[in-house]
Amino acid sequence: MSQRVFPAEWAPQSSVLLAWPHPETDWAHMLHEVQACFQEIVTTIARFEEVILLVPDEVTAEELRPRFPARVKLPVIATNDTWARDFGPISIKENGHWSVLDFQFNGWGLKFPAHKDNMVTRLLLGAGLLAPDIQYQNHLNFTLEGGALESDGAGTLLTTAECLLSTNRNEQWGQAQIETYLKETLGIERVLWLTKGFLTGDDTDSHIDTLARFCSKETIAYVQCTDPGDEHYEALQAMEAELKQFVTADGLPYTLVPLPMADEVIFDWERLPATYANFLIINGAVLVPTYESPKDGLALTQMKKAFPQHEIIGINCRPLIKQHGSLHCVTMQLPKGVTN
């Protein structure tokens, strides 16, 4: 019988994929600020593993090469923007062999141009950046983003109904049909659907990686709101109640690690979706977004409870949140064996 595994993020990795902000992205008006943030992210990841940093042209590659360690690869692959979590390849292992799954990326429901981003997985394969024996699976008939998926690596998927059931993605598909498709495609056995919770300013229709994340098969970290005066209070309290009702595959309640609701971040007169749940797990470390807030320290302390064996590293992601995303959103891990 075929055994297909959708690995957890904490599984051993070969590299992390990012795309460098360039003048043709939405970062054009604040390039210096956001490039400094990307440089810190890339340099930090490179302490632990390889980085594949997509650049728009060879001139940019030559300019960046002296600024990064040798384990940072700089392939020329064009992108519309920098949200690698949502256009990067989704990796599964089947009978000991790795495959990359290429889903349709439509700019979070046709909100933004994505024609270049949607080519990235195929171009990574064509450029020889993936392992020679990698299998490519075309799933371009289905719209799906990596930020919508949380796997525990043992058959359980955590996701949100708000995103996966939105009519601007797979309009003809109902919940039961989507769940069956995900089980068959990803090799998962069950889906935990969160129906509550949101962040103001979020363009993704409530990606799970902004709200709740697996830290182990038994542990979920999530955004907790305890301020009745906050506009998120009722929805996040309801989400917390849902999480308390979820049980592991063994029928036990999850260990829940609350992360503070990030202090309000306002830019251009609108509240942004700042969240500490948008962390990145890499080999030996967890990178946690911070926002120049007194709550940053509490978030890092809580993350250490969830990942006692990992180094916990805060990264100032205030520049990223100005475009409504954060640290996890701009990265996509590639498990060990997927790249050369």
- Report if residue 340 sits inside a domain: no
For the question of residue 329 being annotated catalytic, the response is yes
- Report if residue 274 sits inside a domain: yes
Sites in the chain below the pLDDT cut of 70: 1-2
How many CB atoms within 10 Å of residue 173? Answer: 17
CB 125 within 8 A of CB 159: no
pLDDT in tens, 73-115: 999 999 999 999 999 999 999 999 999 999 999 887 878 889 9
Q: Is 330 helix (H, G, I), strand (E, B) or coil?
A: helix
The phi, psi pair for 58, rounded to 5°, reads -70, -30
The mean pLDDT value of the chain amounts to 96
The DSSP string of 84-152 is HHHHSPEEEEETTEEEEEEEE--HHHHTS--TTGGGHHHHHHHTT-B-TTPEEEEEEEEE--GGG-EE-
Name beta bridge partners: 222.
212, 258
pLDDT of residue 2: 55
215, 225, 317, 329: which one is catalytic? 329
- Report if residue 73 sits inside a domain: yes
Residue 269 sits in a domain of what CATH number? 3.75.10.10
The two most distant CA atoms of the chain are separated, in Å, by: 56
How many folded domains does the chain comprise? 1
- Report if residue 69 sits inside a domain: yes
- Strands 156-160 and 150-151, by their bridges, are antiparallel
What domain range includes position 39?
A: 4-335
CB 165 within 8 A of CB 135: no
**From edge to edge, which strands make up the β-sheet containing 4-5?**
4-5, 90-94, 97-104, 135-143
pLDDT of residue 175: 95
- Report if residue 275 sits inside a domain: yes
